[in-house]
């Protein structure tokens, strides 16, 4: 099945209709007006009318595209038009991370304000007992991460037999994070007559087909341009760096001299994030840290500080920053280069939202050069090369480049490295060989051993590729 085949051509719609022209419940139109929202985003423009007709839907849309309202508005419209008091859960929204769940809860709360509808949150890191009590209150809408929800289902607490709408948000992330089986176990206990809406940053994820074929019925498909296609609003630069110390100097310089409202700095390890935070604070910068080892309360607190502007910069790891929607992030710095094109896209997607301009800068050491050019090829986009005169280091990129942009020529073998290797090889004596020490050789072996060894090529291990995690 070609999930892109049903895509809609936005360009054909020259005039953007107003949100108020959508056939939504008057209560919701009033709320949108109160929130000062007038024009639908492209995903809302396409998804809302189809979802209102009860269609199953697959949409490629990222955080920042307005996707939450795209699935919330038609779903709330259904709940408001057909009240069903005291029933079990009517809408289940499954998401990969706690942060995203919190964000959706907040947006949902804004939309249901003034109605009798209730929304509940079920994620890890929160009290299990409290959550059990929450189910007893029968909120119409549940926003949940799969792991914790499954634990509740195993105890028989939730009731999804009357579920009317199932929403899978950031489905590709859920698969990446290994939630595929959990999602299928949960959906196996949901009413099969429901409407299912699936949102994913990309529809080309390998695992999606299975989920889509199992869970959706004749879905309409909406594809929108992704961050990968959307270079226009994000300036992407690289700055070569000699080593970690140089990177730290570059980072501090950028945070002190760039013009920005809020910045996100990405590291590949929690350890690095923890180390950078205090170092930058010592230089008078207002910096916080966000990573997966922090408790939910600590994470929420940190997000709050950034939103209020108490801190201006957040040093984060990929997992912690997944799905974050923070308004006004206009600078993303990769202290460590992202490990893949996909991760890079997720990182820089935190900026340049809703048509705003953003700047993404990656600090590239010589070990990261080839990784960086690989990401350029993935994006089909060449990053701007930048030097900061005040603290330019020695490294300017590889002296010679292959046509692919990768560094040409590896390290030359020196006498000492060759001797070192020979020594190591000697050290790697096989257990099998050791066992034979002292044993008398069979005459048959003695005959065949010599000629075989003479022509035998030793098996050598392939040199492992350099990685970005230094
Ligand atoms: P999302 O993609 O759902 O994470 O939404 C990103 C942000 O866009 C949220 O802060 C929403 O409040 C905001 N938003 C959603 N719809 C609209 C709209 N039609 N116009 C302006 N902002 C919107």
Instruction: Report which protein residue has its CA nearest ligand 1's atom 11.
Output: 66
Under 8 Å between Cβ of 409 and 400: yes
Under 8 Å between Cβ of 41 and 48: no
Residue 37 Cβ inside 6 Å of ligand 1? The answer reads yes
Alpha carbon of 390 to ligand 1 centroid (Å): 40
Where on the phi/psi map is residue 169: left (φ > 0), alpha (ψ -120 to 50), or beta? beta
pLDDT bucket at 449, cuts 50 / 70 / 90: very low
pLDDT 10s digits, 266-279: 999 999 999 999 99
Coil vs helix vs strand at 415? helix
Alpha carbon of 353 to ligand 1 centroid (Å): 10
Alpha carbon of 303 to ligand 1 centroid (Å): 18
Residue 41 Cβ inside 6 Å of ligand 1? The answer reads yes
pLDDT 10s digits, 62-75: 777 899 999 999 99
Q: How many CB atoms lie within 10 A of CB 445?
A: 11
Alpha carbon of 222 to ligand 1 centroid (Å): 18
- Residue 227 has phi, psi (to 5 degrees) of -55, -35
Under 8 Å between Cβ of 284 and 312: no
Pocket test for ligand 1, best of 68, 105, 201 (most atoms within 8 A of CB): 68
More confident residue, 87 or 133: 133
Lowest-confidence pick of 70-84, 299-313, 375-389, 405-419: 405-419
Coil vs helix vs strand at 215? helix
H helices of 35-193, in order, are: 42-52, 67-81, 98-112, 128-136, 146-154, 171-176, 180-187
108/100 Cα distance (integer angstroms): 12
Residue 323 Cβ inside 6 Å of ligand 1? The answer reads no
Under 8 Å between Cβ of 249 and 335: no
Instruction: Report which protein residue has its CA nearest ligand 1's atom 8.
Output: 66
Under 8 Å between Cβ of 258 and 331: yes
pLDDT bucket at 361, cuts 50 / 70 / 90: very high
367/466 Cα distance (integer angstroms): 6
Give the pLDDT confidence score for residue 422 in this predicted structure: 53
Residue 68 Cβ inside 6 Å of ligand 1? The answer reads yes
More confident residue, 74 or 326: 74
Residue 42 Cβ inside 6 Å of ligand 1? The answer reads no
Under 8 Å between Cβ of 202 and 60: yes
Residue 277 Cβ inside 6 Å of ligand 1? The answer reads no
pLDDT bucket at 420, cuts 50 / 70 / 90: low
Give the pLDDT confidence score for residue 356 in this predicted structure: 67
Alpha carbon of 66 to ligand 1 centroid (Å): 4
Alpha carbon of 91 to ligand 1 centroid (Å): 20
Residue 6 has pLDDT above 60, yes or no: no
Residue 60 Cβ inside 6 Å of ligand 1? The answer reads no
The ligand 1 atom at the shortest distance from the C-alpha of residue 327 is 10
Residue 325 Cβ inside 6 Å of ligand 1? The answer reads yes
Instruction: Report which protein residue has its CA nearest ligand 1's atom 21.
Output: 37
Alpha carbon of 96 to ligand 1 centroid (Å): 19
> Furthest-apart CA pair in the chain: how many Å?
95
Q: For residue 374, which of 351, 401, 340 has the smallest C-alpha distance?
A: 340
Residue 66 Cβ inside 6 Å of ligand 1? The answer reads yes
Q: Which two tokens stand for residue 51?
A: 């979802």
Kindly report the pTM of this predicted structure: 0.61
Looking at the chain, the number of H-run helices and the number of E-run strands are 18, 14
Residue 414 has pLDDT above 60, yes or no: no
236/99 Cα distance (integer angstroms): 26
Instruction: Report which protein residue has its CA nearest ligand 1's atom 19.
Output: 40
Give the pLDDT confidence score for residue 285 in this predicted structure: 96
Alpha carbon of 369 to ligand 1 centroid (Å): 36
pLDDT 10s digits, 157-203: 999 999 999 999 999 889 988 999 999 999 999 999 999 999 998 78
Identify the structural domains of the chain with CATH numbers, from first to last: 19-223 (3.40.50.300), 234-391 (3.40.50.300)
Pocket test for ligand 1, best of 22, 48, 60, 66 (most atoms within 8 A of CB): 66
């Amino acid at each position: 099945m070609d999930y892109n085949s049903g895509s809609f051509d936005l360009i054909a719609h020259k005039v953007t209709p107003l949100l108020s022209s959508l056939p939504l419940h008057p209560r919701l139109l009033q709320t949108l007006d109160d929130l000062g929202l007038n024009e639908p985003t492209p995903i809302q423009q396409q998804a809302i009318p189809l979802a209102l007709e009860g269609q199953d839907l697959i949409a490629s849309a990222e955080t920042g595209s307005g996707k939450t309202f795209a699935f919330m508005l038609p779903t709330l419209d259904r709940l408001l038009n057909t009240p069903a008091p005291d029933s079990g859960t009517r809408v289940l929204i499954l998401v990969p991370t706690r942060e995203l769940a919190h964000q959706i809860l907040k947006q949902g709360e804004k939309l249901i304000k003034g109605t009798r509808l209730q929304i509940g949150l079920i994620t890890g890191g929160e009290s299990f007992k409290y959550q059990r009590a929450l189910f007893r209150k029968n909120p119409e809408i549940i926003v949940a991460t799969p792991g914790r929800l499954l634990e509740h289902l195993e105890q028989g607490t939730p009731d999804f037999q009357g579920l009317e709408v199932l929403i899978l948000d950031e489905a590709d992330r859920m698969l990446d994070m290994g939630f595929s089986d959990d999602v299928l176990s949960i959906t196996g206990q949901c009413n099969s007559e429901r409407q299912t809406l699936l949102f994913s940053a990309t529809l080309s994820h390998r695992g999606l087909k299975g989920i889509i074929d199992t869970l959706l019925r004749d879905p309409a498909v909406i594809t929108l341009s992704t961050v990968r296609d959307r270079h226009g609003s994000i300036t992407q630069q690289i700055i070569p760096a000699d080593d970690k110390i140089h990177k730290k100097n570059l980072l501090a310089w950028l945070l002190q001299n760039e013009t920005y409202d809020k910045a996100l700095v990405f590291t590949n390890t929690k350890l690095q994030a923890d180390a950078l935070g205090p170092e930058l604070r010592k230089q008078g910068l207002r910096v916080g840290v966000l990573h997966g080892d922090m408790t939910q309360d600590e994470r929420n607190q940190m997000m709050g500080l950034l939103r209020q502007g108490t801190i201006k910069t957040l040093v984060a790891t990929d997992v912690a920053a997944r799905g974050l929607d923070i308004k006004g992030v206009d600078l993303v710095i990769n202290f460590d280069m992202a490990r893949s094109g996909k991760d890079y896209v997720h990182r820089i997607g935190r900026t340049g939202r809703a048509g705003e301009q953003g700047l993404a800068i990656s600090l590239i050491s010589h070990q990261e050069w080839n990784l960086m050019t690989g990401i350029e090829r993935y994006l089909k986009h060449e990053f701007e090369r930048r030097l900061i005169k005040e603290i330019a280091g020695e490294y300017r990129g590889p002296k010679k480049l292959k046509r692919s942009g990768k560094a040409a020529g590896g390290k030359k073998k020196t006498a000492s490295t060759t001797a070192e290797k020979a020594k190591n090889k000697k050290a790697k004596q096989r257990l099998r060989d050791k066992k034979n020490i002292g044993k008398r050789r069979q005459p048959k072996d003695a005959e065949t051993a010599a000629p075989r060894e003479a022509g035998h090529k030793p098996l050598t291990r392939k040199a492992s590729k350099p990685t970005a995690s230094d």
